[in-house]
């Protein structure tokens, strides 16, 4: 799922609130710690963010971090690590 606007973020929040998901929810976005930018899976630079207070914190030594959110933080974003577990939200194009 590529969240690239506040409108899409709010749509996702309404959708996710229908379910009782307390774990992390991962979505499209990667940050290589050797680079200053976050990128979508297609390589384009992410310009919209909805960070939780104190995020991103890049507090762990790893090669990359990923975007995730959880209900307890009002679905605001965190930088997460590959060792963390949770659910994924995906998007398909309907033709």
Q: Does domain 6-88 have CATH number 3.10.100.10?
A: yes
CA-wise closest residue to 81 among 53, 95, 52, 60: 60
Q: For 58-95, what is each residue's pLDDT tens digit?
A: 766 788 999 999 999 999 999 999 899 999 998 888 88
Q: For 15-36, what is each residue's pLDDT tens digit?
A: 999 999 889 999 999 999 888 9
Whether the CB-CB separation of 70 and 22 falls below 8 Å is answered with yes
> What's the average model confidence in pLDDT over 7-22?
94
Say which residues have a Cβ less than 8 Å from residue 92's Cβ, sequence separation at least 6: none
Which pLDDT score is estimated for 16? Answer: 95
> What residue ranges do the domains of the chain occupy?
6-88
CA-wise closest residue to 77 among 19, 26, 31: 26
Query: Which pLDDT band, with edges at 50, 70 and 90, does 53 fall under?
Result: very high
Which has more confidence, 93 or 12?
Answer: 12
């Amino acid at each position: 799922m590529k969240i690239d606007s506040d409108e899409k973020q709010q749509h996702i929040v309404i959708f996710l609130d229908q379910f009782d998901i307390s774990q992390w929810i991962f979505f499209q976005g990667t940050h290589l710690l050797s680079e200053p930018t976050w990128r979508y899976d297609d390589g384009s630079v992410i310009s919209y963010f909805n960070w939780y207070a104190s995020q991103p914190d890049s507090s762990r030594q790893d090669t990359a971090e990923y975007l995730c959110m959880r209900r307890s933080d009002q679905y605001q974003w965190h930088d997460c690590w590959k060792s963390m577990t949770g659910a994924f939200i995906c998007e398909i194009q309907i033709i």
